[in-house]
Structure 1
Amino acid sequence: MAMCFPICRYWKLGRKDSMGDFSQLPRQDYEALKERCLRDGCLFEDKSFPAALSSIGSGPLLRKLPSRLQWRRPPELHSNPLFYSAKAKRLDLCQGLVGDCWFLAALQALSLHQDILSRVVPLNQSFTKKYAGIFQFWFWHFGKWVPIVVDDRLPVNEAGQLVFVSSTYKNLFWGALLEKAYAKLSGSYEDLQRGQVSEALVDFTGGVTMTIKLSEAPDSLWDVLTRAMYSRTLIGCQTHCGKERVLENGLVDGHAYTLTGLRKVTTRHGPEYLVRLRNPWGKIEWKGDWSDSSSMWDLLSPKEKILLLRKDDDGEFWMSLQDFKAHFMLLVICKLSPGLLTQEVGQKWSYTMLEGRWENGRTAGGQMKSPQDTFWKNPQFLLSVWRPQEGRRSQLLCSVLVSLLQKPRHRHRNWKPHLAIGFYLFRVSRPLSFDAQKKLPSEFFWKNASLSCRATFLTEKEVSRELWLKPGTYVIVPCTSEACQESEFVLRVFSRKHVFYEIGSNSRVIFSKEIVDQSEGKDEFFTKLFEKHPEINAIQLQNILNHMPWSGLGSKQPLFSLEACQGILALLDLNASGTVSIQEFRDLWKQLMFYQEVFHKQDTNRSGSLNWAQLRAAMREAGIMLSDDVCQLMLIRYGGPDLQMDFVRFVRLMLRVENMEDVFQNLTQDGKGIYLQKPEVYIYPPFHKPQFQAMFSMTPSLVRINIALLSNQLLHIIDPAR
């Protein structure tokens, strides 16, 4: 497809923002550039990150490129290009030639949270409405949300296939363009090779990461993971160091994965704790216990097996927690609000962020080694903490989270590797006699032991620790592992209440700012719910749903009956325990919020119910495509006597439809039909109904059930509540 627009090369429009070595990267005004391109009838071409080999790199990556590399825009690659689609499968991205599995693992964790994703990727961009060949993304860059503008020219091979990140949906391009923007921020595509999942997670969220060595994982690891999954966290992990070679067990050495789910299942031998992971390659899966072909699935109930097991070679798989700890090296949890591994709720969190610099000859003192060293020359920060309710005299411990981030030392991310950084913490016993204008001398540090004993030095972008401190005054000393090493850094402190400032500088005393996070109320809600009801039965579910704030439904607040909650519970209760876990409830909650949005959008007359046309539109909005006849059947079966469907009935229908769609996708071999031997038919509870038994008695030994049958019969007959 030939482009019919001339090219715009307006790349200097905007202002440059000095940010250390990042002054070489222009700050471009996205709106002004786009409007100028639209006015002149041309497509944007970014000269600051051109469609040339210089943007790809100058090292080994060049040798991997196809011989006839081309740069093409999405409208040249597909007849119906889409920037983003909410109907696409949640994990659709696949890694390309760049060794940036760490970036892609973090990106896929991000895609599991639509609201967080939309902060990084403005989802209203498209290739049709006001298309000008220009796109914008946002990254959290050392305390600031920084916009990165790119044109949409992407490197492809001679066949028109993307060389780097691609989607399983060939007309979807948000992932490829986001990778290009991140490459521009990092210097080049080649600068994305080699990295830590934690680094990308921070750049996507501005959150705080905690890395757990799985060989030293606490006994409560499952509880930690469970709390992380139902709160606002993104979770990645990495295998043991290696050269990204595929092992006999299907895992890849030196590779990053995304943790996408947890499930406690009940086998004939007792409970089993499972984790679900995804390989950013979009293929190559674990081959051990609980893999797609494992016989361990036969230990579960048929219902649990059908709904959990997926045999697609899409890179996503289950494995036991025990195997996860044995075969993976690091677990990375990125939290968007503090309280990383605690269950403390109530008061809001506050934070302070200060910038500093290690400068050779002045403030680059290195770590503590001997009384004569230069450790005391490092930047020193005074921290005073107390509990907001009990005050400064309280002896109860205070939760404090400290995060130290080092800035890159070169415009190109990989040209100068990270330094080994860490920090020490000291208690100041007599703060009233303390002179905040003068640094503490060397004697202080050798007479007062560090509370952190020996600082942990890591060659990573961020080093963080969660501390429990007595109310009082402390000194934090961030440093590099060796003296005379230069770099800039950002030091963040999160607590319930604190004062934080740099000693010996002219900066004023900085009080903590309250964190404004819309998710905090939700996190607190789930935390309290988890503490009160680790497992939720139908009566508790009814009470929770009838007290939820259905703000999107206006004055028409839904009322869930006990029967409705029993039906919902039957769909979620995979192990037939009569209850659902808090993680299963959180998944349900996400679905309910989505259904609420769809229902409200189609209920145009605000009657609190949907007619046949509105129901059909609502289901299509949710990505469920049923024929008009089947949709009519659904309204008769699950609607009211007046052929209207209220929100509660809509929820029950949507859960059933999605549940049966999962069943079909897990059983089908070719996407068109299910092939079962007659004896296999009797395994699956949906086929126990007399209607199906009569049908099977007249069929050959190999039964084929197609999508139409599933739509017209299965959905109409099955009612898990009965």
Structure 2
Amino acid sequence: MPLWPPLLGRWKPGQKAAPGASAPLPTQDFEALQEQCLRDGCLFEDSSFPATLSSIGSGPLLRKLPPCLQWRRPPELHSNPHFYSAEAKRLDLCQGLVGDCWFLAALQALTLHQDILSQVVPLNQSFTKKYAGIFQFRFWHFGKWVPVVIDDRLPVTEAGQLIFVSSTYKNLFWGALLEKAYAKLCGSYEDLQHGEVSDALLDFTGGVTVTIKLAEAPGNLWDILAGAIYGRTLIGCQTHLGNERVLENGLVDGHAYTLIGIRKVTCKHAPEYLVKLRNPWGKVEWKGDWSDSSRTWELLSPKEKMMLLRKNNDGEFWMSLKDFIAHFKLLVICKLTPGLLRHEVGQKWSYTMLEGRWEKGSTAGGPMTLHRARGAFWKNPQFLLSVWRPQEGEMFPKPCSVLVSLLQKPRHRHRNRKPPLAIGFYLFRMSKFFDDREKLPREFFLQNNPLSFPEAFLPEKEVSQELWLQPGTYLIVPCTSVACQESEFVLRVFSRKHIFYEIGSNSGIVFSKEIEDQTEGHDEVFAKLFEQCPEINAVQLQRILNHLTWSGLGSTRPLFSLDACQGILARLDLNASGTMSIQEFRDLWKQLTLYQEVFHKQDRAGSGCLNCAQLQAAMKDAGIALSRDICLLMLTRYGNPSLQMDFVSFVLLMLRAEEMESIFQNLTQDGKGIYLQKSEWLMMTLYC
């Protein structure tokens, strides 16, 4: 299914959790437990989430419970129980005693996408085939899909009525069982009290949520909704803060709803923009314009009115976009593809996820302050991000769309015991090559201002931002609003093409002292390196080239920047995988060996650079004859301001020149010239 894969970060086996980290769920093998129960002829009882008050909670929720609370299984509650029915109305769930409208509103949105629902709720479970009182659900939990196993004992009244989530179809129990599994994931039923729609949408999909404050709604809100409704999205919304009190207009304050549809209708004088919402309670509806009993429906044609109006007290209702903006506080859109609020056909996105932590005394540096010299901001985890266009060689590079998502992990086994910290991230532009094996020092942040920074630190599970960046290298620094606060986090980046890693990490390549000191037998060195990484990316290519000995350059040691390695990889990456195999690297090394020989031959003074005459001679030695004017042009394009060219720039020039010569040989008929159609000529000129 088209959900983003869980690409885990740099968590190392045996690495201890940060102080205050939440305890993991117990590992339970669903199939093994089910088979054991079937063999023993018994029904599963989950000791890790028992049928006792401890699973419900220990606070105010206990006072809401009915007297004589019991725990019963669905076959004890109905003569013909079903787990799920595709024939039933999709939005069939109603909220119970727990104030988890945020969870239920997200769940209602989930039911609009059957393939996504089946990822969270395996629909092949039943109360007949292989029934053993055990069920399993899956949630996206900070980078990976986590299975949650439960038994099917549900809390009910003495009369057998479910006290939490129930279905309008009394014999369907998937919603009640899913709520129990989510309560187990969060700690207890009481830990489902109060939350954000965005939190549940994230746990159901692993997507990225975009929250729009309706008081600051953009002018193209309708277009955003249209793109979201007809794309791969789940949409929720929340009214203004309150205590879930029913207002005179029929809305509930402090309450979450699901947005399930939109419609542009034609009135007598002007078009009207309508949104369709559903209350998780399964009742209590809007009473204003376009409600079930409103006279505004008479403004439509009888046919359109018949198509849209359903006079049922089922919690579903229409209202105008204008009223929606006025009476609701937040709109939450969860995108399942990283195109965010735009529909882009045929575009491939890359996705990288890394884990990190803020730890008191080392990496919990807090935010930047006015007195940055006295701050510890530089101690925060630092991540290098290099972005570039999928199509290299554009004459006028366009900004790249990059989505950054920062997630903080819960700090306690029970979700509501420790509220989330206020978090955010800064973005800096990197202007020169540096040693990425160590963090950037305090001086970097004294001399550079961030391109992007948190307008406000938000105490939320996830903060995300879409950035439009020119191709280049950037630094992302996630932090908390106050120094010395501890938590673990997940940082995700989505873009067309990028490299993303933590500064100070080894990026998957570990160099032994023997490899660093070795001057001969490079093929053996390469074999050892590629045992660790069968395919290397530009970051790893940079590390290899900067660690190997360049005997053909004398005392001069070249430093390959990440941009240069991206350029090299772009020239040689024929299958557009973004990586290089050992055989491709061996071919590259043969070319580099030739380049260093001809470069060193012309650089007699050992300055590490070539002037125009030396460049012309070096290229001739390498088999490419260029005029002096062309060489001057190449120095302007690839050289430094003094019209001198170092070895790394020489490598890039030679790779480009050989590639263009190869293209010429493929296009020419007589070896003297070529005839290009307009489209071919445009491609060639833009590529160069």
| Aligned AA (1:378) | N
1:448: Cα distance to partner?
1.7
Counterpart CA distance in 2 for 1:324 and 1:108 is 19
> Does residue 388 of the first structure (1) align with residue 379 of the second (2)?
no
Please list the CA deviations of residues 644-679 of structure 1 after superposition, one character each: whole Å capped at 9, or x if unmatched. Answer: xxxxxxxxxxxxxxxxxxxxxxxxxxxxxxxxxxxx
* Paired position in structure 2 for 1:397: 399
Shift of 1:414: 0.4
1:546-557 matches, cutoff 5 A: none
Aligned to 1:667: none
Say whether the 8 Å CA contact 2:84–2:172 is kept in structure 1: yes
The answer for the alignment partner of 1:553 in structure 2 is none
Partner of 1:298: 298
| TM-score normalised by structure 2 residue count | 0.70
Equivalent-residue separation in structure 1 for 2:138 and 2:16 (angstroms):
17
Conserved 8 A contact 2:425-2:454 = no
Could you tell me which amino acid in structure 2 is paired with residue 253 of structure 1? Answer: D
Deviations 1:335-373 (A, max 9, x none): 111010234433300000000000011111111112121
Equivalent residue for 2:358? 358
Contact 1:392/1:471 (<8 A) preserved: no
Other structure's SS at 2:107 match: helix
Structure-2 residue corresponding to 1:338? 338
Write the letter of the residue equivalent to 1:457. Answer: F
Note if contact 1:424-1:455 (Cα within 8 Å) is conserved in structure 2.
no
Instruction: Tell me the amino acid that sits aligned with residue 68 of structure 2.
Output: R
Q: CA deviation at 1:380?
A: 0.5
The aligned residue for residue 463 of structure 1 is 463
Number of the residue aligned with 1:275: 275
CA drift at 1:17: 13
Q: Which amino acid aligns with 2:415?
A: R
CA contact (8 A) 2:22 2:410 kept: no
Distance in 2 (CA, whole Å) between partners of 1:457 and 1:409 is 18
Q: Secondary structure at the match of 2:407?
A: strand
Deviations 1:593-615 (A, max 9, x none): xxxxxxxxxxxxxxxxxxxxxxx
Give 1:390 deviation, angstroms. Answer: 2.8
SS of aligned partner of 2:291: coil
Amino acid at match of 1:490: V
What is the deviation of 1:389? Answer: 1.1
What residue number does 2:215 align with?
Answer: 215
Post-superposition CA distance 1:554-601 (Å, at most 9, x none): xxxxxxxxxxxxxxxxxxxxxxxxxxxxxxxxxxxxxxxxxxxxxxxx
- Write the distance in 2 (CA, Å) between the matches of 1:446 and 1:323: 48
Does the C-alpha gap of structure 1 residues 448 and 132 become closer, same or farther in structure 2, counting only changes over 3 Å? Answer: same
Deviation at residue 505 of structure 1 after TM alignment: 3.0
Structure 1 equivalent of residue 646 of structure 2: none
* Partner amino acid, structure 1, of 2:501: Y
Equivalent position SS for 2:211 = strand
C-alpha displacement of 1:444? 1.7
Alignment of 1:33-182 (within 5 A): 33-182=33-182
2:505 is the counterpart of 1:505: yes
Secondary structure of 1:298's aligned partner: helix
Q: Shift of the alpha carbon at 1:395?
A: 2.0
Q: Are the aligned partners of 2:425 and 2:453 in contact in 1 as well (CA < 8 Å)?
A: no
**1:637 aligns to what?**
none
1:449 aligns with 2:449: yes
- The answer as to whether partners of 1:134 and 1:152 remain within 8 angstroms in 2 is yes
Aligned to 2:250: 250
- TM-fit CA distance, 1:511: 5.4
Letter in 1 for 2:218: P
Secondary structure of the corresponding residue to residue 396 of structure 1: coil
Q: Which amino acid letter does the alignment assign opposite residue 339 of structure 2?
A: G
Q: Is the 8 A contact 1:437 1:505 kept in 2?
A: yes
Query: Equivalents in 2 of 1:412, 1:222: separation in Å?
Result: 39
Correspondence 1:510-659 to 2 at 5 A: none
Residues 353-404 of structure 1: per-residue CA shift (max 9 Å, x gap): 0000000111111111121211111101000000111358862110100000
Match of 1:227?
227
Helix, strand or coil: the match of 1:27?
Answer: coil
Report the residue type matching 1:183 in the other structure. Answer: A
C-alpha separation in 1, matches of 2:538 and 2:101:
36
In 1, the alpha carbon distance for the partners of 2:427 and 2:493 equals 13
In terms of mean alpha carbon deviation, does 19-28 or 333-342 score higher?
19-28
Q: 1:41 to 1:67 in 2, by over 3 A?
A: same
Q: Which letter maps to 1:416?
A: K
Equivalent residue, structure 2, for 1:373: 375
Equivalent AA in structure 2 for residue 477 of structure 1: V
* Residues 174, 18 of structure 1: alpha-carbon distance in 2 compared, 3 angstrom cutoff: farther
Name whichever of 393-402 and 239-248 sits farther off.
393-402
TM-score with structure 1 setting the length: 0.67
**Which residue of structure 1 aligns with residue 322 of structure 2?**
322
State how far apart, in whole Å, the 1-side matches of 2:355 and 2:97 are: 36
Question: CA 1:453/1:37 → structure 2, altered by over 3 Å: closer, same or farther?
Answer: closer
State the 1:25 CA deviation: 2.3
Residues in 2 aligned to 1:343 and 1:34: alpha-carbon distance in whole angstroms: 43
8 Å CA contact retained: 1:387, 1:394: no
- What CA distance in whole angstroms lies between the structure 2 residues aligned with 1:112 and 1:512? 41
Max Rg structure: 2
Residue 191 to residue 471, structure 1, CA distance change in 2 (3 Å) = same
Query: Does the aligned pair in 2 maintain the 1:394–1:471 contact within 8 Å?
Result: no
**Residue identity in the other structure for 1:68:** C
Relative distance call for 1:106 and 1:454 in structure 2 (3 A) is: closer
One-letter amino acid matched to 2:129:
K
Give 2:487's aligned residue: 487
Shift of 1:309: 0.6
Q: CA deviation at 1:283?
A: 0.7
Q: Write the distance in 2 (CA, Å) between the matches of 1:184 and 1:54.
A: 11
Cα deviation for residue 420 of structure 1 reads: 0.4
The CA deviation at 1:242 is 1.0
1:96/1:165 contact within 8 Å kept:
yes
Q: Which residue of 1 aligns with 2:436?
A: 436
**8 Å contact kept, 2:264–2:273:** yes
Q: Is the 8 A contact 1:154 1:162 kept in 2?
A: yes
Taking only aligned residues, the RMSD between alpha carbons, in angstroms, comes to 1.8
Q: Which residue of 2 aligns with 1:406?
A: 408
Q: Secondary structure at the match of 2:75?
A: helix
Residues 385, 392 of structure 1: alpha-carbon distance in 2 compared, 3 angstrom cutoff: farther
Identity %: 79
- 1:671-698 per-residue CA deviation (whole Å, 9 max, x = no partner) reads xxxxxxxxxxxxxxxxxxxxxxxxxxxx
Q: After the TM superposition, which parts of structure 1 deviate over 4 Å for at least 4 consecutive aligned residues?
A: 16-22, 391-394, 509-513
String of CA shifts for 1:322-342, please: whole Å, max 9, x gaps.
Answer: 010111000000011101023
In 2, the alpha carbon distance for the partners of 1:392 and 1:373 equals: 41
Report the Cα distance in structure 2 between the residues aligned to 1:443 and 1:289, rounded to whole angstroms: 60
- Give, in whole Å, the separation in 1 of the partners of 2:242 and 2:304: 36
**What is the one-letter code of the residue matched to 2:483?**
A
- State the secondary structure of the residue aligned to 1:304: helix
Q: Secondary structure at the match of 1:319?
A: strand
Distance 1:413 1:45 in 2: 24
Q: Tell me, in whole angstroms, the C-alpha distance in 1 between the residues paired with 2:455 and 2:445.
A: 14
Q: What is residue 185 of structure 1 aligned with on the other side?
A: 185
